[in-house]
Structure 1
Amino acid sequence: MNAYSAYRDTVKKLLDSGCENAEFEARQLVEFCFSLNETQLLMKNRENVDGLKLKRFNDCVERRSLGEPLQYILGEWDFFALKFKVGKGVLIPRPETEILPRLAIDQLKKTGGKVVYDLCSGSGCVGISIAKFFPNCRVYLFEISDEANYYARQNIKLHNLFNVELIQGDVKKGSKYFGLPNPDVIVTNPPYVPTYDIESLQREISFEPKIALDGGIDGLDFYNVISASWFGCLNPGGILAMECGENQIRGVLSFFLNISTGGKIIKDENGIDRVIMLKK
């Protein structure tokens, strides 16, 4: 079989399985397994592919048709124009989360801050993105999950960073427990899906770790912790930037009404209120 025939068969199979971006994902799998970009795929449409490569390709297609996220199959994904290693046990980086490093970078440019905390850091994509822009900053990644920290370590090594420190621990213990220098910026994409909503999410999300999704009964457990045990450790003039779920803005802000001096709400590319930035 040639690669183009394999590609066309895959588009149909992925469409039949409910994949919304079948053509894009089929091209990604072709490039991953056959090392052919879109142009090469069209130019070599009559050349038969190696049998072992075809078997690997078919295995990947089967995994995707059963719902496994494309990012896990490829083993990496782009975030903030950088590549990050991902796989089972770590939350997949998403475009809307790029708001967090963008806000942090803008703040650090203005203030010259030197310390950043990334709470519930997962793969490390947010904190590492910031660290790449500011080699003189110290970025601390806080994450409880062994699986997520495995990928965070790989990503720190991948980007050859020496200004990032991975802290394995439970952020619910609060900032004082860790005894680190006070931050100028805190960023966080905490678990914020209400517990009883997790089962109704799209099937791909069922492959992602529940610990990275489950924000308690109302999805707000971690924002309560952050307001009570982390916001206060910010240096004067510092900012906290938090991703949150659709329709959670009012609930999240209720924890910070009497402790923040101001802030703003940032919408994602779909027009959804996605990130809250608060000033100390």
Structure 2
Amino acid sequence: MTLNELYRAAKTALEPVTEDPTFEAACLLEHFCGANRTELLLHGDKPAESEAEQAVLSALEKRKTGEPLQYLLGEWDFMSLTLSCGEGVLIPREDTAVLVEAVCKRLSKTENLPKGLDLCAGTGAVGLSIAKEAHAEVTEVELYDSAFNYLNENLARYPELPVTAVKGDMLDKA
């Protein structure tokens, strides 16, 4: 199967599942085949590598059962960060960016170095973004192992940001 044929097959398979099958098909081909839109235009007649083709087809089956695109890709962009994500964490979304922007605007009026606490941090999207945009020190607290693993992975991607992860229950009296 050529890259173009795989792209068209992905787009068709995604039509009943998503509002934007064109976008999602392009994301899957770029992620698994390394073929962005330009590559598809210039070299779409090139055969897809067998392993990559199987990965796309497998991802399509999972997507058709409701698995989020972001989980299939294993990462998602949020504001100016690329964050690892998967089962066990909420997907960083644009409506969360509105929250982060409002917090950063408010923190920009402070004279001292802002410090923050992000409870139930998940991927760390909120705390990492606030640390980056508002130059704040942030402590992120997460209880669940799967989410804490994504949080640590994302903190490792941005070691220059003053963010600390703490594993714990925010309701625990200890």
> Partner letter of residue 168 of structure 2?
G
**Structure 1, 107-116 or 149-158: larger mean CA deviation:** 107-116
Within a 5 Å distance, the mapping from 1:209-248 to structure 2 comes to none
The match for 1:10 is: 10
The match for 1:66 is: 65
Displacement of 1:134 after TM fit? Answer: 4.3
Displacement of 1:162 after TM fit? Answer: 5.3
Is residue 82 of structure 1 aligned with residue 81 of structure 2?
yes
SS at match of 1:111: coil
> Partner letter of residue 3 of structure 2?
A
For the Cα contact (< 8 Å) 2:2–2:47, is it kept in 1? yes
The match for 2:117 is: 117
- Between Structure 1 and Structure 2, the one with more helix by share is 2
For the Cα contact (< 8 Å) 1:19–1:65, is it kept in 2? no
Identity %: 35
The match for 1:126 is: 126
The match for 1:167 is: 166
Partners in 1 of 2:95 and 2:129 — Cα distance?
A: 14
**Structure 1, 67-76 or 39-48: larger mean CA deviation:** 39-48
> Partner letter of residue 46 of structure 1?
D
**Structure 1, 143-152 or 154-163: larger mean CA deviation:** 154-163
For the Cα contact (< 8 Å) 1:131–1:161, is it kept in 2? no
SS at match of 2:108: helix
> Partner letter of residue 148 of structure 1?
A
The match for 1:196 is: none
Displacement of 1:47 after TM fit? Answer: 1.3
> Partner letter of residue 151 of structure 1?
Y
For the Cα contact (< 8 Å) 2:119–2:140, is it kept in 1? yes
* Regions of 4+ moved over 4 Å: none
Structure with higher Rg: it is 1
RMSD: 1.6
Displacement of 1:156 after TM fit? Answer: 0.5
Partners in 2 of 1:162 and 1:97 — Cα distance?
A: 19
SS at match of 2:149: helix
Is residue 55 of structure 1 aligned with residue 54 of structure 2?
yes
Partners in 1 of 2:148 and 2:9 — Cα distance?
A: 37
Displacement of 1:163 after TM fit? Answer: 1.6
For the Cα contact (< 8 Å) 1:79–1:93, is it kept in 2? yes
Partners in 1 of 2:104 and 2:68 — Cα distance?
A: 30
Q: For structure 2, list consecutive stretches of 5 or more residues without a partner in the other structure.
A: none
Partners in 2 of 1:122 and 1:59 — Cα distance?
A: 26
Within a 5 Å distance, the mapping from 1:140-219 to structure 2 comes to 140-161=139-160, 163-173=162-172, 177=173
SS at match of 1:46: coil
Q: For structure 1, list consecutive stretches of 5 or more residues without a partner in the other structure.
A: 179-280
Q: TM-score under structure 1 normalisation?
A: 0.58
Partners in 1 of 2:7 and 2:108 — Cα distance?
A: 46
SS at match of 1:171: coil
Displacement of 1:8 after TM fit? Answer: 0.6
Q: TM-score under structure 2 normalisation?
A: 0.92
Partners in 1 of 2:111 and 2:145 — Cα distance?
A: 33
